[in-house]
Amino acid sequence: MVIISLATILASHVARAQGAKAMSELVPDTMAITPALIAKGRDVFRNHGGCAVCHGMQLEGGAGLPLKKAKWKDAGNGDLASIVRVVSNGVPGTLMVAHPNGINEERVVEVAAYIWAVNRGRAKP
Q: Give the footprint of ligand HEC on residues 55-74 (CB under 6 A).
A: 55, 63-65, 67, 72-74
Is-contact 37 3, C-beta < 8 A?
yes
Shortest distance (Å) from residue 44 CB to ligand HEC = 6
Please give the residues from 86 up to 115 whose contact with ligand HEC meets the rule CB under 6 A. Answer: 86-87, 91, 94-96, 100, 103, 111, 115
- Do 44 and 107 form a contact (C-beta atoms < 8 A)? yes
- Smallest gap from Cβ 21 to ligand HEC, in A, equals 19
Instruction: State which of positions 16-55 bind ligand HEC (CB under 6 A).
Output: 49-51, 53-55
Binding-site residue total for ligand HEC (CB under 6 A)? 25
Q: 88-101: b or e for each residue (b if 16 or more CB lie within 10 Å)?
A: bbbbeeeebeeebe
Nearer to ligand HEC, 1 or 7 (CB): 7
CB of residue 7 to ligand HEC, shortest distance in Å: 15
Using CA atoms, how far residue 92 sits from 21, 36, 74, 100, in Å, is: 18, 32, 11, 13
Query: What Å distances lie between residue 78 and 4, 48, 50, 58, 74, CA to CA?
Result: 23, 23, 20, 17, 9
Residue pair 37/106 in contact (Cβ under 8 Å)? The answer is no
List of residues contacting ligand HEC (CB under 6 A)? 49-51, 53-55, 63-65, 67, 72-75, 83, 86-87, 91, 94-96, 100, 103, 111, 115
